[in-house]
Amino acid sequence: MSVQYRVVFGKNDEAVEGPDDAAVVVTVAAADAALAPTTAFMLGKLKNTGPTGPVLAALRDGSAAAAISRLASRP
């Protein structure tokens, strides 16, 4: 199942990684991207649309952390 990651820097300003037709979309504010993704998810700062199973799998295998880190460190 495909996952799209979005880090939001401001209104209409976000970095996106993943296909537009992804079954799951994970969104986190840039200010909260420094948190560990599992912590952000438990605090309700990392949001997702779609099924939760793929999100939990991405959190477990580290792919969510890697993608969010890449997007949050944009120049």
Contact between residue 16 and residue 4 where contact means Cβ atoms under 8 Å apart: yes
- Whether residue 8 contacts residue 28, with contact meaning beta carbons closer than 8 Å, is answered with yes
Average pLDDT over residues 24-41: 96
| pLDDT band of 74, cuts 50, 70, 90 | confident
pLDDT of 75 over the 80 cut: no
Full-model pTM? 0.92
For residues 34-41, average pLDDT: 95
